[in-house]
Structure 1
Amino acid sequence: MTAKDLKEAVGRYGIWNGGGLRSKDPDRRGEVGEAAAELEELGYGAVWIGGNSDADHAVPLLEATSRIVVGTSIQSIWEHEPEVAAARYTELDRAHPGRFAQGLGVSHAKLADQYRRPYSALVAYLDALDKAGAPAHGRLLAALGPKTLELSRDRAAGAIPYLVTAEQTAKARELLGEVPLLAPELKVVLESDPTTARTLARNYLSIYLGLPNYTNNFLRNGFTEDDIKDGGSDRLVDAVFAWGDETAIRARVDDFLDAGADHVALQIVDGGPRHDLPKDAWRRLASLLA
């Protein structure tokens, strides 16, 4: 599968979910599979398993579907030996050709005890994957900065940036060039009241504003220290969330596509537990995007 093939397979819209779909609980396997099957029926082109996910999380989703691409977003390089990661990719690609995308990333210093020289570690990890026979077209990188975006262009099928703006997406497209897949994540609050919507957004955003990888990226791209205080300024919240009525949300998603995204990974934020499967919201979103 080439980057072009992957673009066609994932389409323009996918679902990012870091809770309910990331389950290895055998008692939830049927529920998770049914949710993935419905996402496929709704017309989404990809499911991105958020958080610290791996190939085993993808298996029940792949087995319950026939078309949709399932990607890790992301699999931490610190927790999976590259030889094992390469073997698992090969197994899943043989069983479900062209439908498993191995999203890789360096995670965060607060979440990984081994965190040292993340860029150099990522390069070494890609070297080991190459040596183990894992194809570059089967992987995507969680890239924010220019150097990692260049790695996504040169040594992967593309980039899956998390928590970025449309303006940052345009810069990423310029660095990547036309061919690699660019699939940013975008959080969606299906709420029209500004106060309610921004409160839900800030409650969810707060954990990320304690992670320097994200805050440094914001500061690099025109935001100020004031923008990342107290849960985020209105300017920051409005840039990294789509909220409002159907017209406003559709317009925000289109901003990312117009900026150069090939695909947008949409994450529902509704204030519910992170392990929930927000099926009603996924249905509303699919109708909105149709």
Structure 2
Amino acid sequence: MELSGVGIWSSQLRYGNSAESADAAAELDELGFKALWIPDVGGPVLDAVGHLLASTKRTVIATGILNLWMHAPGDVAERYAALTAEHGDRFLLGIGVSHAPLIDAGEPGRYRKPLAATAAFLDGLDAAPQPVPVDRRVLAALGPKMLTLSATRGRGAHPYLVTPDHTASARATLGEGPLLLPEQTVILTDNADEAHSIGKDWLRAYLALPNYANNLLRSGFTEDDVAQVSDRLLDAIIAWGDEEAILRRVAEHRDAGADHVCVQVLLADPTAFPREEWRRIAAAI
């Protein structure tokens, strides 16, 4: 499994219209994107993985991430084995511990000891009759302890909502060898007001989650930056502008130590498939 270059991170491929997601995935495969990443905020994520594997021929399909609180490791291992047997070695299992406000909303107090919970989930994958290979799983990781776990118990890390400076720090923690696969959010517009309007609405939901807010505070942003969604923070997290601006940010991650960068395109309508924007990025690459 080769993971390099640029991939696409997309909630639309997961939660959008099934027929359009299949058609879009097939086109993204033909356009040459190395991997397609989908989130897991509820529902049968492994069915979605199977749907995208069946719709593509070459690209890797990755969970970014499978929420470990929503799945039993034995069931995941069984489905992983079935999907790879049917579609070949193109499924990368990204695993994450999610966020306390989301998990505790349905069951207060359930979210606890995230590092231990992740290790226990990995133990379950290893103990399954058909274990998920260590080199076919990565962890959502921001801080040094989870990054270290991703290097020792997986093939590497998939940080989300990060800057190239974080990528450099993560590479220093991981050392050489483990994969570093950050997500990069982008908006294809030269209009600063439009970019900031779309970006701030999107960022507010993430900055309400302690894992992301705390990581940005560790990265040098202030509490006011986070609370107000400052222009400084937005411009550091979201690359906006033309294709050259987008690829320049991708190159910054690569120069900082990323092996592969998965690009998430934002539109004013978050449910719309950004197919024209994907084509523009592919043409620029």
TM-score range, shorter chain: over 0.9
2:92 is equivalent to residue 92 of structure 1:
no
> What amino acid maps onto 1:16 in structure 2?
W
Cα displacement string for residues 132-177 of structure 1 (whole angstroms, at most 9, x for unaligned residues) = 1221111110001101101110110111110001000001111112
What's 1:248 paired with? 245
> What amino acid maps onto 2:66 in structure 1?
Q
Alignment counterpart, residue 14 of structure 2, candidates 22, 31, 46: 22
> What amino acid maps onto 1:39 in structure 2?
L
Q: Structure 2: how far apart are the matches of 1:140 and 1:56?
A: 19
SS in 2 for 1:267: strand
What's 1:156 paired with? 154
> What amino acid maps onto 2:225 in structure 1?
D
CA contact (8 A) 1:52 1:73 kept: no
Q: Which ranges in structure 1 are unaligned for 5 or more consecutive residues?
A: 1-5
2:114 is equivalent to residue 118 of structure 1:
yes
What's 2:107 paired with? none
Cα displacement (A) at 1:271:
1.3
Q: Structure 1: how far apart are the matches of 2:242 and 2:87?
A: 38
Cα displacement (A) at 1:193:
1.6
Alignment counterpart, residue 45 of structure 1, candidates 10, 15, 34: 34
Q: Structure 1: how far apart are the matches of 2:242 and 2:8?
A: 19
CA contact (8 A) 2:167 2:258 kept: yes
What's 1:277 paired with? 273
Cα displacement (A) at 1:96:
2.0
Q: Structure 1: how far apart are the matches of 2:282 and 2:60?
A: 17
The list of structure 1 runs, each at least 4 consecutive aligned residues, that deviate by more than 6 angstroms after superposition, is none
Q: Structure 1: how far apart are the matches of 2:222 and 2:18?
A: 44
Cα displacement (A) at 1:50:
2.0
Q: Which ranges in structure 2 are unaligned for 5 or more consecutive residues?
A: 105-109
Cα distance change of structure 1 residues 128 and 51 upon mapping to structure 2, 3 Å threshold:
closer
Q: Structure 2: how far apart are the matches of 1:262 and 1:52?
A: 26
2:133 is equivalent to residue 140 of structure 1:
no
Q: Structure 2: how far apart are the matches of 1:268 and 1:75?
A: 20
Q: Structure 2: how far apart are the matches of 1:79 and 1:15?
A: 24
Cα displacement (A) at 1:21:
1.0
2:97 is equivalent to residue 106 of structure 1:
yes
Cα displacement (A) at 1:265:
0.6
Q: Structure 2: how far apart are the matches of 1:21 and 1:234?
A: 29
Cα displacement (A) at 1:217:
0.4
What's 1:3 paired with? none
CA contact (8 A) 2:52 2:61 kept: yes
> What amino acid maps onto 2:32 in structure 1?
G
What TM-score do the two structures reach when normalised by structure 2? 0.93
Cα displacement (A) at 1:233:
1.3
Cα displacement (A) at 1:203:
1.1
What's 1:11 paired with? 4
2:253 is equivalent to residue 264 of structure 1:
no
SS in 1 for 2:151: helix
Cα displacement string for residues 154-209 of structure 1 (whole angstroms, at most 9, x for unaligned residues) = 11011111000100000111111221111100001001122221221111111001
Cα displacement string for residues 257-281 of structure 1 (whole angstroms, at most 9, x for unaligned residues) = 111111111000111133x221111
SS in 1 for 2:36: strand
Aligned length: 276
> What amino acid maps onto 1:253 in structure 2?
V
Aligned-residue identity in percent = 49
CA contact (8 A) 1:163 1:185 kept: yes
Q: Structure 2: how far apart are the matches of 1:250 and 1:57?
A: 29
CA contact (8 A) 2:5 2:260 kept: yes
What's 2:177 paired with? 179
CA contact (8 A) 2:67 2:97 kept: yes
SS in 2 for 1:206: helix
